[in-house]
Amino acid sequence: MGRALAPVPFSSTVYLFAEAILIAGSEDQKKRLLPKVASGEIIGTFARAEGPGAVLPKSIRTTLKGGKLNGKKIAVVDGPIADYCIVLARASDDAGERGLQLALVDLKAAGVKRTDCETLDASRSHSDITFENAAAETLGAVGEGWANQNRVLDKAAILMAFEQVGGSDVCLAMAKDYALNRYAFGRPIASFQAIKHKLADMYVFNELARSNAYYGAWALSTNAREIPLAAASARVSATQAFDYASKENIQTHGGMGFTWQVDCHFYYKRSKELGLALGPQRTWKDKLVTELELTNAA
C-alpha cells in the first residue's frame, strides 16, 4: 500500500488561524495564543461557510451578541481536532453598531457541538460546528469582519500556493520516473509523444504557478499594495497546476494509478481538498479580474 500524506493540521493553524490573530487580534490575544501555535501546543482553525457555494456577506447568519455565539458553520477544516476556532459572524454591540466581525471560540468549552464530515481526503479531517450560546472573544471591531477575513484569505492563498506547487512537483516527478521505467512495446513509455506532451504540460503549469507564488511571497514580505492581485494570481495558477498534475500523474501510471499500490490517489485527493479550502476557484478568478481592472485603471 502507498504512503499517505501526513494528516498534520498545518494549513488551518498557520495559514488561517495564526494569520487572523496577527491581523485582527489584540496584543493580549497575540501574546497568549501565538507562542502556543509556534510550539504546536494548540491547533486552530477558521470557520466561514454556512452552506454550499461561495461565502458572501449576506450568507452569514451566525450571530455574535453579548459575548455569545449562535449558529452553524459547515465543513470546517481540522474541525474534529482543533482547540480554537475563529468564526466569521454577524455582530452587534452595546453601542448599537452592527456588521460582520471575527470571533475567537474555545472549541472545548460549553455550547460547542462538532459533527465529523465524510471527506474525499481522509488525511484532512473536517466537521460541522454548531454554536449555542458559546462564549466568544471578539477580534477587531464590529464591521471589520469581512475586510479582515479577506486579508486572512489573501495571505493564506499565497502560503497555500507553495503547498500546492510542492504537490504538483511531486506528481511530475512521480510521472516522469514511472514513464522512464515502464516499458511497452519494448521501449520506455517516456519515449512516446503523448507521454512527452503530458509531462511537458505539467512542467509548464508548475512553473507558472511557482512564478506566481514567488510574486505573492514578494508582496507579503514587502507588505505591497499588490497583495490582493498576487494572492488571486497565486491561488488560481497553483490550484490549476496541482489539479492538472495530480490527474495526469494518474493517467501516466495507467491502471496502476488507480490502485493503492502507488500514491497517485493521495495527491489527487489533496489537490481537490486544497482547491476548495479557501473557496471555489471561480471566486478567485473573479477577484483576479477585479484586481487587474483596478491595476489598469490606476
pLDDT in tens, the chain (298 residues): 344 444 445 678 889 999 999 999 999 999 999 999 999 999 999 999 999 888 999 999 999 999 999 999 999 999 999 999 999 999 987 766 799 999 999 999 999 999 999 988 888 899 999 999 999 999 999 999 999 999 999 999 999 999 999 999 999 999 999 999 999 999 999 999 999 999 999 999 999 999 999 999 999 999 999 999 999 999 999 999 999 999 999 999 998 888 888 999 999 999 999 999 999 899 999 999 999 999 888 7
Identify the domain boundary among 95, 113, 143. Answer: 143
* 218 shares its domain with 273: yes
Q: What pLDDT score was predicted for residue 3?
A: 42
For residue 2, being part of any structural domain is answered with no
Q: What pLDDT score was predicted for residue 9?
A: 56
* 77 shares its domain with 151: no
- Asked if residues 248 and 267 have their Cβ atoms less than 8 Å apart, the reply is no
The 8-class DSSP code of residue 257 comes to G
For residue 4, being part of any structural domain is answered with no
131/112 Cα distance (integer angstroms): 5
* 156 shares its domain with 173: yes
Beta pairing, strands 84-92 & 44-47: parallel
For residue 5, being part of any structural domain is answered with no
Q: Which residue range forms the structural domain that includes residue 245?
A: 147-297
* 87 shares its domain with 158: no
* 152 shares its domain with 288: yes
Q: What pLDDT score was predicted for residue 117?
A: 94
For residue 106, being part of any structural domain is answered with yes
Residues in the chain, total: 298
* 272 shares its domain with 183: yes
212/238 Cα distance (integer angstroms): 8
227-253 and 193-222 helices, crossing angle to 10°:
160
* 163 shares its domain with 287: yes
Quote the pTM value: 0.91
* 114 shares its domain with 152: no
* 208 shares its domain with 242: yes
Sequential DSSP letters for 131-181:
EEEEEEEEES-TT-HHHHHHHHHHHHHHHHHHHHHHHHHHHHHHHHHHHHH
For residue 174, being part of any structural domain is answered with yes
Q: What is the biggest distance separating any 2 CA atoms in the chain, rounded to whole angstroms?
A: 79
- Asked if residues 105 and 135 have their Cβ atoms less than 8 Å apart, the reply is yes
Q: What pLDDT score was predicted for residue 120?
A: 86
C-alpha cell at 216: 505573492
- Asked if residues 69 and 61 have their Cβ atoms less than 8 Å apart, the reply is no
182/190 Cα distance (integer angstroms): 8
- Asked if residues 37 and 13 have their Cβ atoms less than 8 Å apart, the reply is yes
For residue 1, being part of any structural domain is answered with no
